């Protein structure tokens, strides 16, 4: 419903100006600057910049380290958002049934929203510590059973478990609201048509949940990236052997530790284009499968 009630030429612009200024300074300008530095080289000892064309891209794309990092980033985005959405979906489906536990679950499942990714990283790296944590006893029985410090698979499992823990709330809230918006009559009609609960899940609930699933997928893919920094900085620092050195973390190290402004900006551009492409892909291909009829 559009309201469009007041007529005024300048007032709406004055009203939106503060937000537009903030967005310009800290959203659009940084994007533009990243593009600027991706094509320029900062001159040593400050002062001035030099246009270098595609030189920065050639340098970045020529390094194996970048490709490892980009691959790890894609893998992480897909698996982290996949695991967290699946978990939240299962929990939402369970909480949608009016059980005695549901109200408690609905409250508790959004608590992780109050915990920063870095805090939960500190906590899980302790809980999953191979020598001091809950899995330490198993390590004593079978040495090497669990060692996220050296075993890449274990490292990723640790990251995904932690990410799922942290990412449940938002996804859970959206999906549960979507499930509860499906009219009870449709379940009844389905039951009358001979469709059991399991079949109704596939034939009725999931198709009608596609708008929420779409929103959640789009947001979770971006969120898994931004949340990854807190986890990696506190849990793996990019290790073992650079296997979890995701682009977000690599850009941070290149820019703030190695002071390679142009290299970091170039990778920023690549990462932003990657995320924009994924979002675009989702809009063009996934959104077609969304049922907006209600």
Partner 1 sequence: MIENTSSIDRVAGAILIAGLLFVLTPLAFVVITATQSYEDFLRNNFSLIPGSHFLENFREVWSRTDLPRQTLNSIIVGGIVATGRVALAVTTSYAVVFFTGRGRGFVYALVVASIMLPLELMIITAYQVTANVALPLNVVANLGGWWGALFGGPLDLQWNLLDTYAGISIPLMAQGSCTMILVQFFRTIPPQLARAAIVDGVGPLRFLWDILLPLSKGPLTALGIYMFISAWIQYMWPLVAASSPARTMAVVGLTRLQEDGERIPDFPLQMTGAILVTLPPLILIALFQRRIVRGLTLSEK
Partner 2 sequence: MLETSSTAAIGLHGLVKSYGETPVIPGLDAELRGGEFTVILGPSGCGKSTLLNCIAGLERLSAGRITIGGREVQEEEPKNRRLAMVFQNYALYPHMTVAENIGYALKVAGVNKTERAARVAEAARVVELGDYLDRRPGQLSGGQRQRVAIARAVVREPQVLLYDEPLSNLDAKLRHDMRRELAELHRRIGATSVFVTHDQVEAMTLADRIMVLNKGRIEQFDTPEAIYHRPASTFVAGFIGSPAMNLVDVTGEGGVLRLADGTALAAHSHRGPAILGIRPELVVPAPDGLPVQITYREELGAHAVLTLRLPDGTALRMATALGQRGGLPTDLRVALPAAELHLFDPLTGKALASATPATQTKKAQHDHVPS
Binding site for partner 2 (CB under 8 A): 183, 185-186, 188-195, 199, 203-204, 207-208, 291, 293-294
For residues 35 to 74, the per-residue mask of contacts with partner 1, x marking binding by CB under 8 A and - elsewhere, is --x-------------------------------------
Query: CA angle, corner 15, sides to 11 and 18, nearest 5?
Result: 140
For residue 180, the number of C-alpha atoms closer than 13 Å in the C-beta half-sphere is 14
Name the binder of 186 from partner 1, partner 2, none, CB < 5-8 A by kind: partner 2
- Window 76-135: residues binding partner 1 (CB under 8 A): 90-91, 93-95, 97-99, 101-102, 104-124, 126-127, 131-134
Shortest spacing between CB 30 and partner 2, in angstroms: 41
Say which entry of partner 2, partner 1, none residue 258 contacts (CB below 5 to 8 A, set by partner kind). Answer: none
Contacts of 241 (CB under 8 A, 6+ apart): 152
Q: Which of 94, 95, 291 is nearest to 207 (CA)?
A: 291
Nearer CB in complex with partner 1: 22/75: 22
8 A C-beta contact, residue 179 and residue 201: no
Cβ distance to partner 2 smaller for residue 4 or 185: 185
Q: Which of 171, 212, 236, 244 binds partner 1 (CB under 8 A)?
A: 212
CA pair distance 34, 276, nearest whole angstrom: 15
**In this chain, which of 152, 215, 217, 290 binds partner 1, going by CB under 8 A?**
215
Question: Which range in 58-66, 75-83, 263-271, 285-293 contacts partner 1 by CB under 8 A?
Answer: 263-271
d(CA 38, CA 57): 7
Q: Which is nearer to partner 2, 59 or 187 (CB)?
A: 187
Q: Candidates 64-72, 141-149, 212-220, 284-292 — which segment interacts with partner 1 by CB under 8 A?
A: 212-220
Rounded Cα–Cα distance for residues 117 and 232 (Å): 9
Distances (CA, A) of 215 to 218, 222, 260: 5, 11, 36
State the nearest-atom distance from the C-beta of 2 to partner 1, in Å: 7
Asked if residue 30 binds partner 1 (CB under 8 A), the reply is yes
Q: Which of 141, 142, 196, 257 binds partner 1 (CB under 8 A)?
A: 196
Distance CA 176, CA 203 (A): 18
- Is residue 208 within 8 Å of 294, Cβ to Cβ? yes
The CA–CA distances, whole Å, from 201 to 89, 205, 209, 234 equal 12, 5, 10, 39
138 binding partner 1? (CB under 8 A): no
Rounded CA-CA distance 124/47 in Å is 44
Binding segment for partner 1 (CB under 8 A), chosen from 55-63, 64-72, 142-150, 208-216, is 208-216
């Amino acid at each position: 419903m559009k309201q469009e009630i007041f007529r005024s030429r300048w007032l709406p612009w004055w009203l939106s100006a503060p937000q537009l200024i903030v967005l310009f300074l800290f959203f659009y300008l940084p994007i533009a600057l990243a593009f600027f530095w991706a094509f320029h080289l900062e001159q040593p000892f400050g002062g001035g910049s030099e246009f270098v064309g595609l030189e920065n891209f050639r340098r970045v794309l020529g390094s194996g380290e970048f490709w490892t990092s980009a691959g790890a980033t894609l893998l992480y985005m897909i698996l982290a958002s996949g695991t967290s959405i699946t978990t939240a979906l299962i929990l939402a489906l369970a909480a949608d049934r009016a059980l005695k536990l549901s109200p408690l679950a609905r409250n508790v499942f959004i608590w992780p929203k109050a915990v920063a990714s870095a805090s939960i990283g500190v906590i899980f790296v302790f809980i999953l510590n191979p020598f001091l944590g809950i899995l330490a006893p198993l390590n004593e029985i079978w040495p090497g059973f669990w060692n996220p410090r050296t075993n890449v698979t274990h490292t990723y499992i640790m990251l995904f478990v932690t990410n799922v823990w942290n990412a449940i709330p938002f996804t859970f809230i959206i999906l549960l609201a979507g499930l509860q918006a499906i009219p009870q009559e449709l379940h009844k009609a389905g039951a009358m048509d001979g469709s059991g609960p399991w079949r109704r899940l596939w034939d009725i609930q999931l198709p009608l949940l596609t708008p929420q699933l779409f929103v959640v997928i789009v947001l979770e893919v971006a969120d898994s990236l931004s949340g990854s920094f807190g986890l990696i900085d506190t849990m793996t620092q990019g290790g073992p052997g650079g296997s979890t050195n995701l682009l977000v973390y690599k850009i941070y190290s290149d820019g703030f530790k190695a002071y390679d402004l142009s290299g970091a900006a170039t990778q920023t551009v690549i990462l932003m284009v990657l995320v924009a492409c994924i979002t675009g892909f989702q809009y063009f291909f996934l959104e077609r499968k969304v049922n907006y009829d209600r």
